[in-house]
């Protein structure tokens, strides 16, 4: 009888953890602050400063403009995330040096 209870409790705990993990992944953007300053934006999204301003000048799907508060510029996190979701996958290049980065297939063929 004890083994049956332990197994049932273990399954219930596992389901609860899976449900919590799914909830966390749905709310991942809430882990970020509401607004990001330039330094935070560049660090979190791994964007080069020159690339950031080039993306803002783009005609098609430009990067969100910052909001000026006092002497600093801030980007609204939800606008940045929405912009990322609208990007075609081919435009989002991986960042070398990050965990999980793999060379594109063409470079593998040359090796």
Residues 51-104: pLDDT tens digits?
888 888 988 889 999 999 999 999 999 999 999 888 877 655 665 555 555 555
- Position 106 scores a pLDDT of 55
User: Which two tokens mark 84?
Assistant: 């990322």
Q: Give yes or no for a contact between 75 and 36, defined as CB atoms under 8 angstroms apart.
A: yes
- 25-35 exposure pattern, b = at least 16 Cβ within 10 A, e = fewer: eeeeeeeeeeb
Say what percent of the chain tops pLDDT 70.
53
Q: What is the 8-class DSSP label of residue 32?
A: S
Rounded Cα distance, 107 and 111, in Å: 7
Q: What is the percent of the chain with per-residue pLDDT over 90, rounded to a whole number?
A: 26
How sure is the predictor about 46, in pLDDT bands with cuts at 50, 70 and 90?
confident
């Amino acid at each position: 009888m004890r083994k049956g209870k332990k197994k049932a409790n273990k399954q219930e705990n596992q389901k609860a953890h899976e449900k919590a993990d799914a909830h966390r992944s749905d709310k991942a953007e809430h882990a970020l602050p509401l607004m990001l300053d330039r330094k935070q934006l560049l660090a979190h999204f791994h964007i080069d400063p020159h690339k950031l301003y080039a993306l803002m000048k783009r005609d098609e799907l430009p990067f969100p403009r910052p909001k000026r508060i006092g002497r600093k510029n801030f980007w609204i996190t939800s606008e940045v995330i929405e912009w990322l979701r609208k990007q075609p996958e081919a435009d989002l290049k991986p960042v070398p040096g990050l965990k999980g980065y793999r060379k594109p297939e063409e470079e593998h063929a040359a090796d």
